[in-house]
């Protein structure tokens, strides 16, 4: 069967058009001018369909025309979400649709059939042009974010930001210390020196909520020694990879078993579930067809940050991760100062848990969304901090954003009831100007007493927690089977981990019991030998 030739079909149509508008005196002349057979032009002019017209779908095309149109829409949607589709990603998606692997040249032929798409390559820019492009990219980012919120009617509690944070297990941080004035020479802060890398996958919302993390250790199997006394951390997931970094498989596991279940309870029942927005960077483990497909099915809208912009556009980087690093460094320093040595994966779980409690507060989380200009929606807060930015030079690009700032975009929540001396003082300072003098004096006395109590409680809690940690570490004795392998699974949920630890410890105790029974010497025969 002849193969449909789009170029030849175009020449036939042009020949018929030339005859109809009078530029060619006859069909034969029109056919000659456009290099097609006169009989073909006559048959088409008289209404007869050729094999090419009947065969609208070429036999050598891997995808149908309808499937390719869907693929075009998918690529366009990714672009609108700041996810430019790589060639290998498009080829992989086409292979999933066709049910077989696509050839190396398939994308080239696909682009030839769809002129509404094209390819572009990144190129080096000089510093000034790069900064100008950065500004345009940031303006485009805020526009896309605003449009996504409006289009899908996304509520603030359903806007999330995810990223990975790496830690070196045994490294603290430099600190300012107080020393006698005659002894100012440089001091060194001891640290353990363990350079094993652990990755924490964290995710926070614009209202201050945060998902249970995924902890990624370096290794090939989970060991019992890592997880003793730590399985009570509800919702945490434990993973392993060769170097302790994330990858495509672990990113997918995090999406399915950490993010989706936790945030779905906030978004509502499945049939009436609100759309969720997940902001993330362009790491290769996130831009996979499986990751994107799952999000589409679960009503999760993905929004990718522009390249090299996470330090001022990503809420986690702007507000939380610096506090997170400092909190972990301080925790390691305190651990070493109390005489702790040999920090391993087992100790890391305690240390990182304490650091999370210190760093993950409403102030740090909500502050990150505010500092990145997202909640409350204030793009100028970020744009005015960029070099070479002026409203006059970018007024056209800003017009859409400026016109929409006053629309009903939800703001961030406000502060809660005071829970410490500093918060109490701020609260009192806010209401004192509205009180008369006698009432103000009485309030000052109550405030002073409450502040003293707050301070004493804070000191007692800190001292008590420190003592409890020391006692807990001192009481730890090496239980049998400490290095037993728990599982080769790449990811373990808290419930699965609990069952594995319980089973391993039960087996270890059974081995001890059997050993003790074998070691016991029967008393009756011994007495008989002594009498004889």
Whether 109 has a pLDDT exceeding 60, the answer reads yes
List the one residue out of 277, 374, 275, 241 whose CA is nearest residue 317: 374
What's the pLDDT score for residue 263?
95
Q: With contact defined as beta carbons under 8 Å apart, do 460 and 486 qualify?
A: no
Report pTM: 0.64
Say which residue the tokens 């302790």 belong to: 244
What's the pLDDT score for residue 79?
80
SS (H, E, C) 376-438: CCCHHHHHCCCCCCCCCCCHHHHHHHHHHCCCCCCCCCCCCCCCCHHHHHHHHHHHHHHCCHH
Q: With contact defined as beta carbons under 8 Å apart, do 512 and 480 qualify?
A: yes
Q: Mean pLDDT, to the nearest integer, of 402-412? A: 50
Joined together, the tokens standing for residue 521 give: 């010497």
Distance CA 264, CA 300 (A): 10
Distance CA 47, CA 42 (A): 9
* Helix, strand, or coil (residue 223): strand
What's the pLDDT score for residue 269?
83
Q: Mean pLDDT, to the nearest integer, of 132-140? A: 75
As a whole number, the mean pLDDT across the chain is: 77
Helix axes 321-337, 345-359, angle to 10 degrees: 130
Confidence tier at 207 by pLDDT (50, 70, 90): very high
Whether 430 has a pLDDT exceeding 80, the answer reads no
169-178, 331-340, 341-350, 506-515: lowest mean pLDDT where?
169-178
Phi and psi at 194, nearest 5°, equal -70, 120
Distance CA 352, CA 198 (A): 10
What's the pLDDT score for residue 477?
43
Peptide bond preceding 376 in cis form (omega within 30 of 0): yes
Confidence tier at 4 by pLDDT (50, 70, 90): low
């Amino acid at each position: 069967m002849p193969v449909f030739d789009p170029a030849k079909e175009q020449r036939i149509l042009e020949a018929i058009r030339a005859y109809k508008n009078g530029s060619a005196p006859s069909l034969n002349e029109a056919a000659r001018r456009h290099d097609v057979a006169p009989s073909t032009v006559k048959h088409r002019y008289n209404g007869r369909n050729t094999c090419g017209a009947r065969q609208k779908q070429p036999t050598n095309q891997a995808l149908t025309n309808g499937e390719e149109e869907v693929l075009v829409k998918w690529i366009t949607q990714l672009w609108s979400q700041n996810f430019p589709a790589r060639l290998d990603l498009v080829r992989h998606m086409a292979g999933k649709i066709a049910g077989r692997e696509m050839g190396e040249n398939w994308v080239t032929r696909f682009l030839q059939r769809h002129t509404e798409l094209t390819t572009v390559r990144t190129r080096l820019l000089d510093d000034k042009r790069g900064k100008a492009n950065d500004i345009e990219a940031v303006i485009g980012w805020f526009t896309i974010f605003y449009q996504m919120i409006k289009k899908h009617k996304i509520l603030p509690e359903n806007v999330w930001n995810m990223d990975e944070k790496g830690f070196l297990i045994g490294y603290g941080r430099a600190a300012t210390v107080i020393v006698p004035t005659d002894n100012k020479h440089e001091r060194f802060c001891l640290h353990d020196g363990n350079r094993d890398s652990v990755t924490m996958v964290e995710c926070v919302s614009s209202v201050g909520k945060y998902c249970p993390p995924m902890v990624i250790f370096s290794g090939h199997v989970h060991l019992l020694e890592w997880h003793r006394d730590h399985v009570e951390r509800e919702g945490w997931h434990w993973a392993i990879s060769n170097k302790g970094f994330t990858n495509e498989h672990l990113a997918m596991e995090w999406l399915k078993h950490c993010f989706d279940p936790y945030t779905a309870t906030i978004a509502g029942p499945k049939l009436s579930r609100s759309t969720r927005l997940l902001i993330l960077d362009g790491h290769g483990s996130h831009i996979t067809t499986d990751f994107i497909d799952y999000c589409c099915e679960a009503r999760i809208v993905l929004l990718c940050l522009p390249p090299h912009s996470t330090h001022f556009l990503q809420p986690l980087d702007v507000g939380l991760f610096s506090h997170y690093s400092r909190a972990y460094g301080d925790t390691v320093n305190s651990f070493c100062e109390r005489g702790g040595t040999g920090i391993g994966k087992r100790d890391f779980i305690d240390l990182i848990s304490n650091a999370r409690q210190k760093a993950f507060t409403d102030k740090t989380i909500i502050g990150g969304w505010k500092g990145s200009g997202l909640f409350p929606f204030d793009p100028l807060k970020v744009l005015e901090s960029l070099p070479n930015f002026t409203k006059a030079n970018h007024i056209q690009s800003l017009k859409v954003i400026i016109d929409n700032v006053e629309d009903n975009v939800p703001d961030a929540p406000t502060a809660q009831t005071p829970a410490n001396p500093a918060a109490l003082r701020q609260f009192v300072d806010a209401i004192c100007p509205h009180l008369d003098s006698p009432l103000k004096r009485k309030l000052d006395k109550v405030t002073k007493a409450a502040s003293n109590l707050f301070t004493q409680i804070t000191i007692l809690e800190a001292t008590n927690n420190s003592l409890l940690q020391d006692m807990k570490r001192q009481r730890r004795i090496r239980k049998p089977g400490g290095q037993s392998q728990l599982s080769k699974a790449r990811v373990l949920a808290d419930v699965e981990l609990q069952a594995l630890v319980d089973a391993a410890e039960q087996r270890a105790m059974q081995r001890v019991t059997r050993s003790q029974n074998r070691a016991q010497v029967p008393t009756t025969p011994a007495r008989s030998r002594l009498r004889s």
